[in-house]
């Protein structure tokens, strides 16, 4: 059996573990040929193939990035995109496809599956907001990096009345902000799940700095928003690919806080370092388990499903159930972040 594999969307640590698992298990157990497509859906549309062998996956388990490359192209959003994909699959005699990606890729995957292609998806996103799975590939590494940054800022934050803002990723959900905020002992976490009231933020800071502290750390998700009807309002600033412009939220917060409190406020935008480098063990394991589960699933004839972690188990969930939903941080975690400030 010839099985195709691609990685779409932004790269995250742990993708290579998944690709390696698909190849090792596919070849070693099932006798499949595994054909990679370069640069995500773009390579699948263009017929840019890389037949994967044991050689390609040597020493990649502990590396960041994706050995297949990736791109922000989605066939379902481009004219003739799906047709080009189908043409490549036919030309290359691909019998099943494994797509590793986030929101956009999962959506495209479900469209391709509807067009009759045998297809299993693997979720990845440092935002961890894919519905239907406890974890997506890349999240654990991102939290580890963000927490280390908060730790470092903690030990150096000794000047009086200084407010340190650390901006992390998280467009629609505040998973990184909430977890790194709890793990790093931040004083305040601003997540998209709980639109904030700048008046309360300012009151909290003033009270804290007056009462017993000389600094505060705020961890803010790039997608955090002011609550409707409160005294601060802003439009989220978007970049060329629809992503939130790094730092735009923090700079607005900084301006507001400095003006209202007079506290010296500093911004650190973690940016790209959150999505690179050596994957944590948890991300390598998740990638490996999802890769094995996906290749086993297409071999059994499954289609239109996504691998998912549920507690200690790896399961399959219908892509149709996943599409269009965002998995938010549970209220209990938001409360823990608040309670331990």
- Residue 313 engages its own copies in binding (rule: CB under 8 A): yes
- Residue 65 engages its own copies in binding (rule: CB under 8 A): yes
Tell me if 125 sits within 8 A of 83, measured CB to CB. no
- Residue 69 engages its own copies in binding (rule: CB under 8 A): yes
Question: What is the rounded CA–CA span in Å between residue 36 and residue 117?
Answer: 16
DSSP 184-238: HT-SEEE-TTS-B-HHHHHHHHHHHHHHT-SEEEEEEETT--BPTTSS---PPPB
Active site residue 83: no
- Residue 272 engages its own copies in binding (rule: CB under 8 A): yes
- Residue 243 engages its own copies in binding (rule: CB under 8 A): no
284 assigned binding-site residue: no
Which of 47, 74, 57 has the alpha carbon at shortest distance from 15?
Answer: 57
Tokens 């601060």 identify what position? 232
Please, what is the minimum distance in Å from the beta carbon of residue 174 to its own copies? 14
Single out the residue of 4, 9, 43, 64 in contact with its own copies (rule: CB under 8 A).
64
Q: How many CA atoms lie within 13 A of 268 on its CB side?
A: 19
- Residue 333 engages its own copies in binding (rule: CB under 8 A): yes
- Residue 29 engages its own copies in binding (rule: CB under 8 A): yes
Please, what is the minimum distance in Å from the beta carbon of residue 229 to its own copies? 27
103 assigned binding-site residue: yes
Catalytic residue among 48, 83, 127, 312: 127
- Residue 340 engages its own copies in binding (rule: CB under 8 A): yes
Tell me if 187 sits within 8 A of 287, measured CB to CB. no
- Residue 310 engages its own copies in binding (rule: CB under 8 A): yes
- Residue 209 engages its own copies in binding (rule: CB under 8 A): no
212 assigned binding-site residue: no
- Residue 34 engages its own copies in binding (rule: CB under 8 A): no
222 assigned binding-site residue: yes
**CA distances in angstroms from 262 to 126, 172, 193, listed in the order given:** 35, 31, 28
- Residue 179 engages its own copies in binding (rule: CB under 8 A): yes
Instruction: Return the number of the residue (49 or 157) whose C-beta is nearest its own copies.
Output: 157
Chain mean position to CA 236: 19
Single out the residue of 50, 86, 282, 326 in contact with its own copies (rule: CB under 8 A).
282
Looking only at residues 119 through 178 of this chain, which bind its own copies when binding is defined by CB under 8 A? 134, 140, 143-145, 147-149, 151-159, 164
**What region does 73 belong to: left with phi over 0, alpha with psi -120 to 50, or beta?**
beta
The answer for residues whose C-beta is within 8 angstroms of residue 112's C-beta and 6 or more apart is 75, 76, 82, 85, 86, 97, 99, 119
Single out the residue of 28, 51, 116, 324 in contact with its own copies (rule: CB under 8 A).
28
Using the Cα atoms of residue 21, residue 85, residue 244 and residue 235 in order, give the sign of their dihedral.
negative
**CA distances in angstroms from 221 to 24, 74, 168, listed in the order given:** 37, 26, 5
Q: Which range binds its own copies by CB under 8 A, 96-104, 181-189, 199-207, 224-232?
A: 181-189
Q: Which range binds its own copies by CB under 8 A, 16-24, 116-124, 193-201, 317-325?
A: 16-24
The answer for residues whose C-beta is within 8 angstroms of residue 131's C-beta and 6 or more apart is 321, 322, 325, 326, 327
- Residue 320 engages its own copies in binding (rule: CB under 8 A): no
**CA distances in angstroms from 235 to 196, 225, 313, listed in the order given:** 14, 9, 40
> How many CB atoms sit inside 10 A of residue 75's CB?
24
125 assigned binding-site residue: yes
- Residue 71 engages its own copies in binding (rule: CB under 8 A): yes
- Residue 97 engages its own copies in binding (rule: CB under 8 A): no
208 assigned binding-site residue: no
Please, what is the minimum distance in Å from the beta carbon of residue 20 to its own copies? 7
Return binding residues for ATP.
10, 72-73, 102-105
Instruction: Give me the active site residues, please.
Output: 127
Return binding residues for substrate.
125-127, 162, 169-171, 222, 266, 272-275
Return binding residues.
10, 72-73, 102-105, 125-127, 162, 169-171, 222, 266, 272-275
């Amino acid at each position: 059996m010839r099985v195709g594999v691609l990685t779409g969307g932004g790269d995250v640590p742990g993708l290579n573990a998944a690709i390696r698992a698909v190849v090792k298990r596919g070849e070693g157990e099932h006798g499949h040929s595994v054909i990679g497509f370069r640069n995500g859906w773009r390579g699948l549309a263009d017929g840019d193939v890389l037949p994967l062998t044991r050689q390609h996956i040597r020493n990649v388990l502990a590396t960041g990035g994706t050995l297949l490359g990736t791109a922000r192209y989605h066939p379902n959003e481009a004219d003739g995109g799906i047709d080009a994909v189908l043409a490549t699959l036919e030309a290359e005699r691909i019998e099943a496809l494994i797509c590793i990606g986030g929101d956009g890729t999962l959506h495209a995957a479900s469209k391709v599956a509807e067009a009759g292609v045998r297809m299993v998806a693997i979720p990845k996103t440092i935002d961890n907001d894919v519905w239907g799975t406890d974890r997506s590939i890349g999240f654990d590494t991102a939290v580890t990096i963000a927490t280390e940054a908060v730790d470092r800022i903690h030990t150096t934050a000794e000047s009086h009345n200084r407010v340190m803002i650390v901006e992390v990723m998280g467009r629609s959900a505040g998973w990184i902000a909430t977890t790194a905020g709890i793990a790093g002992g931040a004083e305040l976490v601003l997540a998209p799940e709980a639109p904030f009231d700048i008046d309360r933020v300012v009151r909290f800071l003033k009270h804290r700095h007056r009462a017993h502290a000389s600094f505060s750390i705020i961890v803010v998700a790039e997608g955090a928003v002011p609550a409707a009807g409160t005294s601060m309002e802003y439009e989220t600033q978007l970049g060329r690919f629809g992503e939130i412009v790094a730092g735009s939220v923090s700079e607005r917060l900084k301006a507001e806080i400095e003006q209202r409190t007079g506290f010296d406020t500093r911004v650190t935008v973690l940016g790209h370092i959150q999505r690179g480098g050596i994957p944590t063990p948890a991300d390598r394991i998740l990638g490996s388990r999802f890769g094995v589960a996906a290749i086993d699933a297409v071999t059994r004839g499954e289609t239109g499903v996504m691998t998912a972690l549920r507690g200690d188990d790896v399961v399959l969930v219908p892509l149709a159930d996943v599409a269009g939903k965002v998995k938010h941080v549970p209220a209990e975690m938001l409360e823990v972040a608040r309670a331990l400030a």
